[in-house]
A and B are shown apart, each in its own frame.
Chain A
Amino acid sequence: MLRHVTQGLALGALLAVTAAAPAQAKTIKVAIGHQSMCTDTYTAGIVVKELKLLEKHLPKTGKYKDVDYDISWADYSSGGPITNQMMANKLNIGVMGDYPLIVNGAKFQATDSLRTYYVAGTGYNLKGSGNAIVVPVKSDLYKIGDLEGKEVSTPVGSAAWGMLLKAAQDNNIKFQLKNQSPAVGAANIAAGKIDAHSDFCPWSEIMEFRGTGRKIYDGSEAGVPYLHGVVVRKDLADDYPEVVQAFIKAVYDAGKWIKEDPIRATDLMEKWTGVEKEVLYIYFSKGGHLSLDPTIKPAWTEALKFDHTVLVKEKAIPPLDFGDWITEKYIRAAYKDMGVDYDKDKAAVVDPVEANAGLPNEIWHARDGIKAYATLPEFLGAIAKFRATGAKINSTYVYDKETGLKLFGKTAFWVVTPKGEFATFLRRGEAEKYAGTIDGKVITFEDAIGMKSS
């Protein structure tokens, strides 16, 4: 009897305490998987994280009034593990490149109860620049055809792998494919242990900047847009659509912040990621490889569908219903909230050939920062002058006459005309062809500077 009374009292006390306790604030988990070694993900990854842009946009009124947000970031080397973590709900937002995105969508659709949505892009290159094939700097290989029968490595499953397969098909060549991580590939290029290495952004430019590698094939030649994007778990999107919209607003803001001052942005991004700012500048500067634009264009859907066919051909990946996977619902709502015309941004496409025409060449002076020069003779003259005074130059940038792609001055093929004018090219073949048509001569960067030294 006494025991029953005691139990009754204890239960009553417990109920009283429970009733008196303040209501527990609801916690919404926002866990993002990003890649600090993949430049095209920065506007949905490291920039949003470091500038706390998500926190700025997360809803705090209405049903979110008493909500606590548990925001966490996890950095990965590639997209595959992000998908696995999303499956386990340890992450509910993932940022990755085109091929891993497709695997993500297909793997989720292969389950009974889980789905992801492709809700926004991060940035793109219309022609496919960002992926590239690099050879050791002293290699005698200069074009894709030279790779016939050679050893070429790539991170299999990545966007660069997809580009490599397409390049091989387009050019009807066969090579010995090796499976190598970006870091291993870059190290092997430096040591001359592999004939060529195909990789995603910014590995090719890292190799070029460090003077170990030289591009012989740019992704733009494959003609398939190179893009990265954001996938979210359906449960997060369905339960808290405003949180997904907040993330998209943060992505938009990150792009805006970079465009406002690319030098400041690349300087900070170097500190956050460890990737050299001079390399990042080739992506994020005006005229750089990357167009920062989260909109989902029809061409992106087509590109992703094409990428899916490549994956289906190469490996057993589940089917992907693009209609169910890609949704503009959240990005349209985010743009509307920000008062930005989504359809206008969606319709705008940056083609480097047109967009970069007439852009000035640049010198990154170690002390004075970026200096712009309208013509190549002025640019070369300035380098000669700086060198004469012993001034340190971090990097130089010119444009490929053929594709409009931004290049490091030192890795470009230079053509001098009989009148003493100059043109720069990504590939030697095109430089030689152009030189032939104008009775010019292909020269090195150092030769070109030498011609302007007095």
Chain B
Amino acid sequence: MTAAGRARRIRGAVAARPRLWLAVTLGFPVVYYLVMFIALVTRFQAWPNYTVTYDWLGNVAEIIRATPSLSDIGTIIAQEWLFEVGRMNYDFGNGISEWSLNINPAKVLVVCLLGGLVATLTTLVAGRRAQCSSARLGGAGAAGGLGAALVAMTNVTLAWVVCCATPSWVVGLAILGLGVSSSLWLEQFGWWIEYAGFVLLLASLYVLSGDAKAAANTNETPYPKSAMGAPQ
């Protein structure tokens, strides 16, 4: 099947369920950040006690002004925060920020893109239930789910003072209980994990947008069955 044909099929699946697609696309980032927030509150058994809003646009302008290399500009802007909510511990000194959830527009964009891909996959699965085998649906769905999980994991924007010199996505893993050494070891593979996640998602879309196998290989019954499954 041609790429154009696959694209048409994907567009058709989305067009058939626009509300579902929109709900998943818009809902995914909201749920994603909510889950992160709930995970923090649950993990540390405490509510946040401070918020900070950053001048993201002003900071981006300053980065562009002060950074000679275009490739550096992108990398640095990608780390800029817009909003921070967290917990300050005032037991010592003037207080020390223990943990926080940060809203980073660059990461939000990635999460929105991820939401769109998950929504597309969801509508495609729903639309092709009748044509695809359960193995194919299940396999592609599982691969897509794993891909989404990998991308989501590498776009976590949590900060924790214990990760003093390593404010990165692995902070989320450390907070969630993965061993320190394992977290730090994984850090170097962040980009690869994210790419692998997107590849899995796109591969799932590719598989599901292809031609269905013959009916013999599907769960579609060519004739009615009795309640016990015997041919009538």
Contacts and interface: CB of A to CB of B under 8 A. Distances in A.
A124 interface: no
A154 B165 CA distance: 12
B107 to A, nearest CB: 14
B149 interface: no
Interface in A170-187: 177-184, 186-187
Given A177-B180, A314-B184, A235 B93 contact: no
A275 B97 CA distance: 16
Interface stretch (A58-66, A78-86, A281-289, A339-347): A78-86
A89 B63 contact: yes
B168 to A, nearest CB: 9
B181 A75 contact: no
A275 B93 contact: yes
A77 B97 contact: yes
Contacts of B66: 89, 235
Nearest to A101: B165
Interface in B143-178: 159-167, 174
B125 to A, nearest CB: 37
B232 interface: no
Contacts of A315: 166, 184-185, 187-188
B179 A181 contact: no
Nearest to A206: B92
Contacts of A157: 162-166
B93 A111 contact: no
A311 B80 CA distance: 25
Nearest to A183: B89
A167 interface: no
Contacts of A80: 163-167
Interface in A199-250: 203, 206, 235
Given A77-B96, A179-B163, A113 B69 contact: yes
The range of chain A's interface size is 35 or more
Main secondary structure of the interface of A (DSSP, over half): mixed
Interface stretch (B32-40, B71-79, B109-117): B71-79
Interface residues of B, number: 42
B62 A88 contact: yes
Interface string A28-67: 0000000011000000000000000000000000000000
B128 to A, nearest CB: 41
B91 A187 contact: yes
A184 B98 contact: yes
Contacts of A314: 181, 184
A177 B96 contact: no
B191 to A, nearest CB: 11
B68 to A, nearest CB: 4
Most A C-beta atoms less than 10 A away, residue of B71, B180, B188: B180
B94 interface: yes
B91 A183 contact: yes
A103 interface: yes
A87 interface: yes
B93 A273 contact: yes
Contacts of B95: 274
A113 B185 CA distance: 27
B59 interface: yes
A53 B68 CA distance: 32
B165 A179 contact: no
22 contacts: A37-B92, A77-B161, A80-B163, A80-B167, A89-B62, A89-B63, A100-B164, A103-B165, A103-B166, A111-B69, A112-B68, A112-B71, A113-B69, A158-B165, A177-B179, A179-B162, A179-B174, A181-B89, A183-B96, A274-B92, A274-B94, A315-B188
Interface of B: 59, 62-63, 65-69, 71-72, 75-76, 79-80, 89, 91-99, 159-167, 174, 179-181, 183-185, 187-188
Given A37-B93, A315-B185, 13 more contacts: A77-B96, A80-B164, A84-B167, A87-B79, A89-B62, A99-B165, A157-B165, A177-B181, A179-B160, A182-B161, A273-B93, A314-B181, A316-B187
